[in-house]
Structure 1
C-alpha cells in the first residue's frame, strides 16, 4: 500500500513539474531575438517583468528592449520598445491589442485550423489583423520537457504572419515572437524582431537555437576591418539578378536572409563582382550577411 502511495505521489510531482515547465512566461522568462537592418545589428530582448489585470483578466507583462550597434559609427544604443500583455489558459496564449484579447498561439490546434492574429505595430499599407493556419503538428523534447509544436503558414492575402514553426512555451522559432508584416501589403521594410536566439526561465533552463554564439552577442567589427561602403549590391531594388561587388577584399562567404531571419541562399564568393540569381525569392526586403575573418555584418537589398 505504501509503495502504491509513493508511486502516486511521484507521478503527481512529475505532472506538476511538467505543468510548470510548460507554463507561458514562467518566472525569470527571457527571450532573445536576432535583429539587423541597414547598418544596425543586435538583438531584441523580451522579459517577463510582472503581472497586471486588464478587463478583469490576470495578465503577464512582457517588456521589449532593442540593443543595437551602428556599424558606421560603432556606437551602441538601447531602446525600450514597450510592453506586451499576455495570458494563457494552458492551450492558448492571448495578447492584448486594440482593447481586446487576440489569440497569439493555439497549441490545441489541429491541421487545417486557423485563427486571427493582430498587428504588432502600425503601418500605412497593412491591415490591423492577419490570419495564420496550421499545416501540421508534432512534439519535441527540450530540457526533459515534452512540448507541442505547430507548423504554420500565412493565410492567403494575410498581411501578418508568425513564422513556420512555433513551440509550446517558447513561441515562434524561425521568426519573432509577435506577428510581423509580409509582402502581401507591399514591400516589408519594417520589422521589430528576427529569429529566436534563446529562451530561458528559472525552471526550464536555457534553450538556444544556435544562430548566435551567445544570447546577447553583437557582431564585433572594428573600424579598420570593414570600412564603410566596402560592399555594394546593384541594381537595388532588382527583379531577378543582383551583382554583389566587393571593393576592397573578397569575403569568405555570404548568405541571404529574409526579414524573419530565415536563410534563403548561401554563396561562396570567388570574384570581386559576383552575379547572384534572386529570381526564386519572393518580393520583399532581404539581407546579405557577409563573413570576413570570422566577423559578420549585413547589407540590405530589395527584391521587386
Structure 2
C-alpha cells in the first residue's frame, strides 16, 4: 500500500470522458456498456455532467447526470427529482457511505432489473493512492454491507478510483445474483490527457466477443428473449425444476416439468430482467430473461 501525496481536487466526468464496462452475459456474445460525458448542464440549480449510456456504443440505455461538490460525487435520480451521494473521497477508513437507506427506484443505467432496491450502503476499508498515467490517483478499498446493492459482491472487496469510480461498475451491483449477469468490470477509462486500462482486461476497450454463450450450456435454450407472455425452455436432458427469481434473489415462480421442454408464463411479471435457474440431475444453469 502506498501513502498518497496531497491531492488537488479531481474533476469528475469532464466533457469527452468515456468509460467501458464489461457486460458478459445479457446477450449471446460478450459486449460492453459505454458511458460518454457529452456536455455540461444544470438540474435543480446544480451543475451536472450529462452521461450518455449505451450498449456497444449503439443501443441507447439512458442519460445519467453526475454532480460534483468538492470531493463528493452525486447522481441524479429522476424518479425522486433528487441527488444522492455516490462517492465521497473525503471519507476515511471505517466510514460508511449511505447512498440509499430505504426502498428506491433506480435509474436505467443501474441495470437493476427490478422496480426498486432495498438499500445501497458500503464501507470504506482503506484509503491509499496508485500511480496511473503519470499521476497519483486516490483510491478507496470498499466492501458492501448487507443491503441489496453495493459496489461488491458480499464478502468481497473492490477498489474505487478518484475521478473514475468503481473498478467493477460505476453504479454498483447486487450481491444476490452471480456477478456474470451484470456490467461487472471497468475495462477502460479515458479523458483528454489521462487514461486507465484495467490490468484484468487484455483486449481493445470496445472489443465484442464472437464466442457466444458458455459451450457447456450450448444445449440449453430460453426463447423468445425478450419475451411478452410465455417463454420456452429446452435442455438436452430432463429438467427437474425451473425457478424464476427477481434480480435481488426473491423466488417468484417454480416449475417441475420433468421433461426436456417446458413453458413458463411471465405475463404477470413486471417489465424488467429476471433470473431463470434450470436444474437437471447433473447441472444448475442460470439464464437472464427480459420481460417486455
SS at match of 1:169: coil
- Which runs of 5 or more structure 2 residues have no equivalent in the other structure? 1-5, 101-105, 153-157, 221-246, 248-274, 276-283, 288-292
Question: Which residue in 1 is equivalent to 2:70?
Answer: 90
Q: Is residue 168 from structure 1 mapped to residue 162 from structure 2 by the alignment?
A: yes
Structure 1 runs not aligned, ≥5 long: 1-14, 69-77, 236-258, 260-284, 286-298
Cα distance, 1:140 vs. partner? 1.1
CA distance in 2, matches of 1:179, 1:189: 11
Report the Cα distance in structure 2 between the residues aligned to 1:126 and 1:188, rounded to whole angstroms.
Answer: 19
1:199-210 alignment, distance < 5 Å: 199-204=189-194, 206-210=195-199
CA 1:63–1:128: 2 relative to 1, 3 Å: farther
| Shift of residue 188, structure 1, vs aligned partner | 6.1
Structure 1 stretches of 4+ with a deviation exceeding 6 A read none
Aligned residue in 1 for 2:290: none
Partner residue in 2 for 1:35: 23
- Kindly state the Cα deviation for residue 203 of structure 1 after the two structures are TM-superposed: 2.6
Paired residue for 1:111? 93
Instruction: Give, in whole Å, the separation in 2 of the partners of 1:189 and 1:112.
Output: 25
| Among 164, 171, 174, the residue aligned to 1:181 | 174
Q: Compute the RMSD of aligned alpha carbons.
A: 3.6
Task: Tell me the distance in 1 between the aligned counterparts of 2:136 and 2:214.
Answer: 47
> Among residues 117, 131, 154, which one is paired with 1:127 in the alignment?
117
Residues of 1 paired with 2:173 and 2:121: CA distance? 12
Alignment correspondent of 1:49 = 38
Aligned residue runs from structure 1 range 6-85, under 5 A: 19=8, 22-37=10-25, 39-67=28-56, 78-85=58-65
Q: Which residue of 2 aligns with 1:216?
A: 206
Q: Is the 8 A contact 2:14 2:49 kept in 1?
A: no
Taking the aligned partners of 1:125 and 1:87, their CA distance within structure 2 comes to 24
Structure number with greater Rg is 1
> Which residue is equivalent to 2:84?
102
Pick closer, same or farther for the CA change 1:66–1:169 going to 2, 3 Å. same
Q: Which moved more, 1:126-135 or 1:100-109?
A: 126-135
**1:217/1:91 Cα in 2 relative to 1: closer, same or farther (>3 Å)?**
same
| Contact 1:33 1:197 (8 Å CA) reproduced | yes
Q: In structure 2, what is the equivalent of residue 150 of structure 1?
A: 140
**Offset, 1:111:** 1.2
Q: Is the Cα contact below 8 Å between 2:166 and 2:172 reproduced in 1?
A: no
Give the paired residue count. Answer: 209
1:267-282 superposed matches below 5 A: none
Q: Supply the distance in 2 between the matched residues of 1:197 and 1:121 (Cα, whole angstroms).
A: 17
The structure-2 alpha-carbon separation of the partners of 1:300 and 1:141, relative to structure 1 and needing over 3 Å to count, comes to farther
